[in-house]
Structure 1
Amino acid sequence: MLTASLVIDPAFVVGPVRRRTFGSFVEHLGRCVYTGIHDPEHPSADEDGFRGDVLDLVKELGTGTVRYPGGNFVSGYRWEDGVGPREQRPSRLDLAWHSTDPNTVGVDEFMRWAKKADVEPMMAVNLGTRGVQEALDILEYCNVAGGTHLSDQRRANGAEEPYGIKMWCLGNEMDGPWQIGHKTAHEYGRLATETARAMRMIDPDLELVVCGSSSSAMPTFGAWEATVLEEAYEYVDYVSAHAYYSEKDGDLASFLASAVDMDHFIDSVSATADAVRAAKKLTKRIHISFDEWNVWYQHRAESRPPTGDDWPVAPVLLEDRYNVADAVVVGNLLISLLRHTDRVHSASLAQLVNVIAPIMTEPGGRAWRQTTFHPFALTSEHAKGDVLQVAVDAPTLETEKFGEVSALDAVATRDPETGAVAIFAVNRSTTETLTLTVDVRSLGDVQVVGAQTLSNPDHTWAASADDATSVLPVENGTAAVSDGVVTVELPAVSWSVVRLGA
C-alpha cells in the first residue's frame, strides 16, 4: 500500500474558485445541437424544441459558461444564416465536419437555451473565411440595444433586449493547418488585433480571447503565442489553450498522468505571455481561457467525418464512450485547472452533449450520464471560495511518456464564509491503494462531512443508456479525522472528494 500526505493552510491562497472554470462547449458538430440540446420531437421538448431532460442534466453538471458555435465549425460559419424565420434559412455545407447544417438553431435560439440552462454564453466569431466587418455585425446584432439595422433586426426576430454577451473568441485554432482560413501567427495576430480594436469601439468592456496554440505538441507552440501577443496584447484579455488526452497503446500509467502535460501547457503559456508583457513594459496581465479540454480518442472510427458526396445533417461523430479511467483523468484535469486559477480564468469542457461529452442522448429517447459527468459535477458543486496551495509529499510512479510522476495529485478549496473545505484527490497508481493523510490543524476543529470516490476494479467499465448507474461515486467510509489529521484510503485508478466542515 502506498502512503502520501499533504498539508492545508488557509493562508496559502492561489486565487478564487471561478464559475467560468466549469464551462463547456456547444459546437455545430455531429449530434451536439441537433438531437442533443435541440430535439423538437422529444417528449420533454419545450416550445423552442429544447430537450428538458438535457437542460436538467446541464444544470446538474454545474455548467458555468458555454462556448458557441465552434470550434472548427465557426471558421466557415455565416451567423446571419441562423436568424430570422426558420423557413427562410438556408442549409449550408459545413466543411469542417463534412456535414450539412440546416441552420434551424442559430444565435437567437442558442441565447434562449443559455438563459434556460442558466449559463453564461461565450460567443466565437469567424476569422477563417470572414473578418472585421462580420465580427462587428454579429456584435451589433447581439449587444446593441436598438436603433441600428442589425439591432432592430434582432428585435424584429423576437429579442427586444440586447444579449449583453461579454466574452468573445476571436476565431478558433488558427494555428492549425486543418482550420478553414488557417493563417500564420503574424497574419492571424494582425487580423485579431484589428478585430479586437474595432469591437472595442462598440463596447470597450468586452472580454476578448485571442487564439493560442491548439496543442502543446504543435511545432509552433510558444512561438505562436509570442508572435500573436506581440500584436494583440493591448487589445485582448485572454489567450486560449486547447488540449485533448487519451490512453494510447495500453499505456494506462501515462494516461493517468495527463495533467502533467496540462500543468506544463499552462505554465508555458503564462511564461510566454509574461515575457511579452515585460518586453512591452505593460502592467496589464494576460490570462488563459482553456476553452477546449477533455479526453478524446481521435483515432477511433467514430471520429472520422463522412467523405465524398455524403454531407449528412447531424451525423454520429466523436461519440466516445468513456470508462472509469477516463473519468479519473477528467477529474485530474480539473485539479490542474483549479490549482492554476491565478492564470486560468475560464475553461470549457469540450463538449457538452453527445460529442466527446458527459451527457449522451438517443434521438427522441433517453438521456444519460457518462462516467466523466460525475467528477465534473461534484467538483463544480463543492469547489467554493478560494483555491488553496497544498503541500504534497507522495511516492513517484514511472511512466513512459512523462518519466517519474507523483502517485497523488490533489488540490483543496475553502469557503472563507462558511469554513467548508473540499479536497480533490487522484490516485494515479494502476495497482495499489494509497493511504492519504492530510494535516488540517490550521483549519481549527473540523470534521468529515462527506467523502465520495469514483473507482472500479475494472477501470474499463463504461456507462451506457441501458446501464449508467452500476458504477457511480460512492461514499468513502475510510475518511476520518483525528487530532487535526484527516486519513482516507484512495483505491487504485480513482478520483475522490473529501469534504470538511466545522
Structure 2
Amino acid sequence: MKNNLMARMVLDKDYQIAKVDERIYGSFIEHLGRAVYGGIYEPGHPQSDEQGFRLDIIELVKELQVPIVRYPGGNMVSAYNWEDGVGPKEERPRRLELAWRAMETNEVGTNEFADWAKKVDSDIMMAVNLGTRGIDAARNLLEYTNHPGGTYWSELRKSHGYENPHNVKTWCLGNEMDGPWQVGQKTAHEYGRIAKETAKAMKLVDPSIELVACGSSNTGMPTFPEYEATTLDHAYEQVDYISLHQYYGNKENDPANYLAKNMDMDHFIDTVTSTCDYIKAKHRSKKTMYLSFDEWNVWFHSNESDKKIEPWTVAPPQLEDQYNFEDALLVGSMLITFLQHADRVKMACLAQLVNVIAPIMTENNGRSWKQTIFYPYMHASIYGRGISLKPIVSSPKYDSKDFTDVPYIDCSVVYNEETEEVTIFIINKNLTDNITVNADVRSFEEYRLVEHIVLEHDNLKAVNTASNQAVVPHKNGDSQLKSGCLEANIAKTSWNVIRLKK
C-alpha cells in the first residue's frame, strides 16, 4: 500500500476552544418502534429486572456513559398526554400514537423512565407537548416531576409511589414545530409566542430549569434559518438553548461524498450560531444563546422497510437501521465536529439509543449487541471530557460531489487537566491511502503515549450482528512519541483515538 501522504499538526494547551459540556454525549429514547418496548423494557426477558427493564441493555448504556437522555419524543410528544403514563398501570389507557401510527400501551411513562435513567446513571431531558397542548400541561408536568410536595400534582406523584421529586433540570419546548409532519405544526411566530409563554410559566414553577427552544427540523427546511431568528426574537430572554436536528445517509453509495457530510453539519452550526448572535445584538442582550443538537445520526437504511409497517401495532420494528463501518466513520466525524464547536454546542443527543437508529440492538426475548457506531460514540464519551483544544492541522484535501477542499484528516483534541491526559481523535477519510501525521506536542512535555485505539475494516459495508461482531476496535495503532513529536500512521478510512498521559 502506498503511504506517501503526510499531514502536520500543532497541539498547544493554550489553544483552548472551551470546556466540553459532557451533555454533548447525550442520547434519546422515544416511544417509537422497539426503543422502549422490546428495547430498554421487556418484562419476562431472562435478563429483565423486577421492573421489566433489560439488565443487558442497562450495562451497555452504562458502558457508553450517557450523561443525559431525551424523552419521550420526538414527533411522538406532539400528541402525547403525559397523564396517560402515570398512576396504576392497569388503569392506563391504550392510545393511537399519531406520529408513528402505532399503538401506545403507556406501560412505561414518566416515573418508570426516571427509574431507568437512575439505573443507567443518566439525567433526563424531558420534552413537553406544544403541538396539541400548551402552557397548562407543561407547567403541570413540571410540578409533578420537580415540586417537593403540598400541591395537587406533587401530591399525586407521591400517591404514585414517588415521595421525592425527580428534579428534571433540562426541558424541550416541543419538537420540530416547523415540520408539516408534526401534529400541531406552527409558524415561527406562533411557535415563538407559545415557547415564550410556556417558558415563563415553567420558570415560575421551577426557576432552576434550563429550556430548549425548537429550531428548524433540518437545514433543508424552506424557512431555515428564519425560523430560528423569529422564534428567538420572541423568546430569547426566556430560553437557554436552540435545538438543531440533522440526519445523513449514503443513498447514492458515494463514500467520499458521504464521509464529507460533517462539513454540512459544521456549516449548520455556524449558521445557527450567527443567527443567535444577530438576535442577541438586535435585543442588546448580554446573554449568549447555546446550541442543543438534540437529534443527530445516520438514518437511511430502514426507509424502505418502514413503508411496510402494519399501522396500530404495539412496538413494530421501525427505523431499525443496520449500521456499517462507513456509518461509524461519519458518526465519528460528527462527534469531532461537536468538539470543534464546544464553545457553543453544549448538548447533543445521538438519536436514538436502542433499536431505533441506534448503537445498541436487541432481539425480542433474545440477545443484544453493539452496532458499528457504538464504538466512536463510546470512545468520545469516555475520553472526550475536559477542555476542547484547537489543533492547527495541515492536511491533504479532496473534492467530492457536494463538497470542495475536504481535509482527509478530521481531528479534535481534548485536554483533561484533572487526570493530566490528552486525547486526540483522528479520522482518515482517504479511501485508499494511509496518512502519516506529524504532531508537535511540545506543549505537553513529560507526557507519554498510553495507547492508540483504531477502528478499521477493509470493507466499508461491514456490519455487526448478534452472532458476528465484524467491526470492533483494536489497540495496535502505529504511533511513536519522541522529543515532543508524535508520529502517527493513520490507516485509510479509520477512526483513531490516541491517548497521552503525564
Q: TM-score with structure 2 length normalisation?
A: 0.98
Pairing 1:293–2:296 present? yes
Q: SS at the partner of 1:399?
A: coil
Aligned partner of 1:42 in structure 2 is 45
The aligned counterpart of 2:360 is 359
Shift of 1:305: 6.6
Separation in structure 1 between the aligned mates of residue 178 and residue 429 of structure 2, nearest angstrom:
33
Q: Does 1:242 align with 2:241?
A: no
How far has the Cα of 1:44 moved from its partner?
A: 1.2
2:176 aligned with 1:179: no
Q: Could you report, residue by residue, the CA deviation over 1:49-94 in whole angstroms, capped at 9, with x for unpaired residues? A: 0000000000001211000000000001000000011110000001
Following TM superposition, by how much is the alpha carbon of 1:298 offset from its aligned partner in structure 2, in angstroms?
6.3
AA aligned opposite 1:476: N
Secondary structure in structure 1 of the residue aligned to 2:405:
strand
CA deviations on 1:91-145 (whole Å, 9 max, x unpaired) are 0001110100000000010000001110011100000010110101101110111
Look up the match of 1:474: 474
Greater displacement, 140-149 / 101-110? 140-149
Question: What's the offset of the Cα at 1:475?
Answer: 1.4
Q: Which stretches in structure 2 are left out of the alignment for 5+ residues?
A: none
1:192 and 2:192 aligned: no
* 2-structure distance, mates of 1:393, 1:477: 21
- 1:421 counterpart SS class: strand
Deviations 1:350-399 (A, max 9, x none): 00000000000011110100000001111111113211011110011111
Counterparts in 2 of 1:214-253, with a 5 A limit? Answer: 214-253=217-256
**More displaced stretch, 80-89 vs 413-422:** 413-422
Query: Could you say what secondary structure the match of 2:327 adopts?
Result: helix
CA contact (8 A) 2:24 2:349 kept: yes
Distance 1:479 1:453 in 2: 11
2:101 is matched with which residue?
98
SS at match of 2:478: coil
The C-alpha deviation readout for 1:314-363, integer Å capped at 9, x for no partner, is 00000000011000111110000111110001000000000000000011
Q: What SS does the corresponding residue of 2:399 show, helix, strand or coil? A: strand
In the TM superposition, what are the counterparts of 1:311-330 in structure 2 within 5 Å? Answer: 311-330=312-331
What does 1:423-502 correspond to in 2, within 5 Å? 423-468=424-469, 470-502=470-502
- Structure 1 distance, partners of 2:367, 2:309, is 25
1:341 partner letter: A
Q: Deviation of residue 250 (structure 1)? A: 1.2
Counterpart for residue 60 of structure 1: 63
Corresponding position of 1:275: 278
1:201 aligns with 2:204: yes
Matched-pair contact (CA < 8 Å) for 2:22–2:385: no
8 Å Cα contact 2:193-2:234 kept in structure 1: yes
Q: State yes or no: 1:117 paired with 2:120.
A: yes
1:471, CA displacement in angstroms?
A: 2.3
Instruction: Determine the structure 2 residue equivalent to 1:76.
Output: 79
Looking at structure 1, the residues matched to 431 and 133 of structure 2 have their Cα atoms a distance apart, in angstroms, of 48
The 3-state SS of whatever aligns with 2:251 is coil
RMSD of aligned alpha carbons: 1.1
Q: Are 2:154 and 1:151 aligned?
A: yes
On the 8 A contact 1:248/1:255 being kept in 2, the answer is no
Unaligned runs of 5+ in 1: none
Aligned-partner residue type, residue 22 of structure 1: Y
Shift in Å, 1:224: 0.5
Distance 1:321 1:117 in 2: 24
**Map of 1:376 onto structure 2:** 377
The letter of the residue matching 1:319 is E
Are 2:394 and 1:393 aligned?
yes
- Pair 1:409-2:401 in alignment: no
Deviation, 1:251, is 1.1
Structure 1 CA distance, aligned partners of 2:343 and 2:303?
Answer: 36
Please name the residue that 1:161 is paired with: 164
CA–CA separation in structure 2 for the residues paired with 1:11 and 1:270: 24
What SS does the corresponding residue of 2:119 show, helix, strand or coil?
A: helix
Partner of residue 257, structure 1: 260
Q: How many Å apart are 1:148 and its aligned residue? A: 1.1
1:410-466 Cα offsets, whole Å, 9 max, x none, are 000111123210000111111211111111011112221001111111111000011
Deviations 1:453-498 (A, max 9, x none): 1111111100001112x32111134111112111111122111100
CA distance in 1: counterparts of 2:308 and 2:452, whole angstroms:
42
Which residue of the partner structure matches residue 88 of structure 2?
Answer: 85
**What is the percent sequence identity of the aligned residues?**
49
Q: Which runs of 4+ in 1 moved over 4 A?
A: none
Indicate conservation of the 8 Å contact 2:19/2:342, yes or no.
yes
What is the DSSP-based 3-state SS (H/G/I as helix, E as strand, rest coil) of the residue aligned with 1:292?
Answer: strand
Secondary structure of residue in 2 paired with 1:121:
strand
Q: Contact (CA 8 Å) 2:302, 2:320: kept in 1 or not?
A: no
Give the C-alpha shift of residue 248 in structure 1: 2.5
| Aligned equivalent of 2:19 | 16
